[in-house]
Structure 1
Amino acid sequence: EEAHYLKAVKINVDKNVNGGTLFIERSDGSGAQPAIEGISGLWCVFDRDGDRVLQVTVLARGDTEHTSELQSSIEGWPAEAPQPTNRRYRYAAVTRSWRIRN
C-alpha cells in the first residue's frame, strides 16, 4: 500500500526585490514568502501534446557586480528566454525535468 502527499505551490520571481528574489506561495493561505535571493529568471516549458515533460530552468545571479561584462552567453539558459540586461554579474542556470503523467 502506498500513500502520497501532494502539495501545490505557486512560484514567482520578483526582480525588484534584492536584485531578484524567488517567492513561494503555499496553498495554505499564508501568502507569498521570500525563499531565495539572487534569482534573475525562471523559465518553464511543458510539452502537453508530446512526452508531457515539465522542464524548469532557474537563472541565478552572483552577488558581485564587476566593472566589465563577464559572460556573453549563459550556458544552460534557453535562447528564447528573456536575457539578463546587466552582464557584469556571473550567472548560472540549472534545469530540472519532471514527467507529468495525467
Structure 2
Amino acid sequence: ASNKAQKINAFEEAHYLKAVKINVDKNVNGGTLFIERSDGSGKQPAVEGIAGLWCVFDRDGDRVLQVTVLARGDTEHTSELQSSIEGWPGEAPQPTNRRYRYAAVTRSWRIRN
C-alpha cells in the first residue's frame, strides 16, 4: 500500500482486498471455524459449532465461487433428527452423528480475474 495521496476520478472504482485462510477444526469444541489473516496475527477461532465447509470454484465455466457452511446445534439428542440436510451438497462429506440438528448456508461470488 502506498502512503501517498491518490486521486480517484468520478465513476471509477476503488477496492480494498484482504487475504485470509479459513479452515474448520473438528477436534476443537466439536467443530470450530478458524481464520488466519495475512497480517501475521496467527490462526484465531472465529465460530464454534461448524461441522463443515465446502467450497466449489468453476475456473473454466462461469467463474463463480460457491461456499457452503454447515452449522451444528449444540444439543445432542437421543435419536437421529435429520436423514438429510437441506442445502448441504451430496458430494460433500456427510456428518456421521445425526443426533444433532444441522443447517447449511450457501453464498456465491463471481470472480472476475
Q: Same fold (TM over 0.5)?
A: yes
Q: Following the alignment from structure 1 to structure 2, what is the Cα–Cα distance between the partners of residues 53 and 3? A: 21
Aligned-partner SS, 2:107: strand
- With normalisation by structure 1, the TM-score equals 0.98
Q: Residue in 2 aligned with 1:45?
A: 56
Higher relative contact order (Cα pairs below 8 Å, separated by 6+ residues)? 1
Shift of 1:47: 0.2
- With normalisation by structure 2, the TM-score equals 0.89
Higher-Rg structure is 2
What is the identity percentage for the equivalent residue pairs of Structure 1 and Structure 2?
96
Shift of 1:50: 0.2
Q: Following the alignment from structure 2 to structure 1, what is the Cα–Cα distance between the partners of residues 66 and 14? A: 26
Question: In angstroms, what is the RMSD of aligned CA positions?
Answer: 0.6
Q: Following the alignment from structure 1 to structure 2, what is the Cα–Cα distance between the partners of residues 10 and 21? A: 14
Query: What's the CA shift string for 1:19-63, capped at 9, x where partnerless?
Result: 000000000011110000000000000000000000000000001
Query: What's the CA shift string for 1:43-97, capped at 9, x where partnerless?
Result: 0000000000000000000010000000000000000000000000000000000
| Alignment gaps of 5+ in structure 1 | none
Q: State how many pairs are aligned.
A: 102
